[in-house]
Amino acid sequence: MSSVHEIAVSGFGEGTNELYDRARPSYPPEALTKIHSIISESRKSSDSDSSVSVKWKIIEPGSGTGIFSRLLMQPPTPSYPTFPLDSLIGVEPSSGMRKAWTNGLEKLSLSAEYKEGKKLVAVQGGFDDFTNVQQHGIDKYNKNTKKGGADAVIIAQAWHWCPDHEKALEEIASYLPPSSPLILIWNLESQSTQWQKSVRENYQQHDLGSPQYYKGWWREMFNTKAYKDLFEEKVEWSTEWGRGITEDGLIDNLFSKSYLTPAHLSGDKRQKLDSDLRNIIREADHEWINKDKGIFVFKYSTDIVVLRRKA
């Protein structure tokens, strides 16, 4: 299995997972609807002799605490699509994250009828090692028999941590039938207002040179032989949205970032950043949802990148 970036290991270590799961944003219904349509399209175009079932088998590397996973299992509102799951297998190197994933699943209170026959689990692994998903009924795709494989591999808020794009893309492609997608999705704090731009400028200076999504280093994947040989040309999509949040909620969100957890930012530096961020938030011209309760709109962009497996 590939090594995990040291900032991710220490920043998302023991004791950080609960805050991460509570403070991080979910994903907007437009993004889930887009992903649903991407998978549906590949199912319609798949070979009629393929063994991939009508219900979907999805592998989710970097599944973390399950923030994205839970949207696939249980739409939070009618504006979200329903995913016809057969299997959802998270692949996550952190034992703490896997435990939080399982705890989150239990909190959904899914009915016994819904769970019957479904495989919903997070296993140990990495971007270039899906070995443990095979224990739960998803094998590599066999192009000769046209059997096996997953309907999609989805990576939410994690691909920027991938240390070896070549190896990871080879592993991912081995589980995808022709036209089935690798879907990458990220949330990113918007810079559409000056105060949100100032927030990002203040915290990003502490990122310790780590491979954050906004830096775009992950785009080196498109220079690899694996991408050129195994995948069709990427398609990118984006949507803007906002969520209601309080000052304390936003501070918790920002300090759940790997490089801002106490393992990497503590003492006077941590207190100063907290103070600076709160001053920016308090002086901002907010779009209020409930001013009495201190709830304002915080804006995001959600970006999706789709790579379909070549035939």
Q: Which domains does the chain have, with CATH numbers?
A: 6-189+214-242+301-308 (3.40.50.150)
Q: Would you place residue 48 in the very low, low, confident or very high pLDDT band (cuts 50, 70, 90)?
A: very low
Which residue shows structure tokens 């605490």?
A: 65
SS3 of residue 262 by DSSP: coil
What angle, rounded to 10 degrees, do the helices at 247-255 and 267-283 form? 140
pLDDT at 304 over 60: yes
Query: How much is the pLDDT for 113?
Result: 92
Are 254 and 176 spatial neighbours (Cβ–Cβ below 8 Å)? no
Please state the rounded mean pLDDT for residues 210-223: 96
Please state the rounded mean pLDDT for residues 197-217: 95
Q: Would you place residue 52 in the very low, low, confident or very high pLDDT band (cuts 50, 70, 90)?
A: very low
Residues near 102 by Cβ (< 8 Å), separated by ≥ 6? 121, 122
In degrees, to the nearest 5, what angle opens at C-alpha 61 toward C-alphas 60 and 67? 60
Query: How much is the pLDDT for 99?
Result: 92
Query: How much is the pLDDT for 21?
Result: 83
pTM (global) more than 0.95 = no
Integer angstrom CA distances of residue 33 from 30, 60, 188, 235, 281? 5, 17, 19, 16, 32
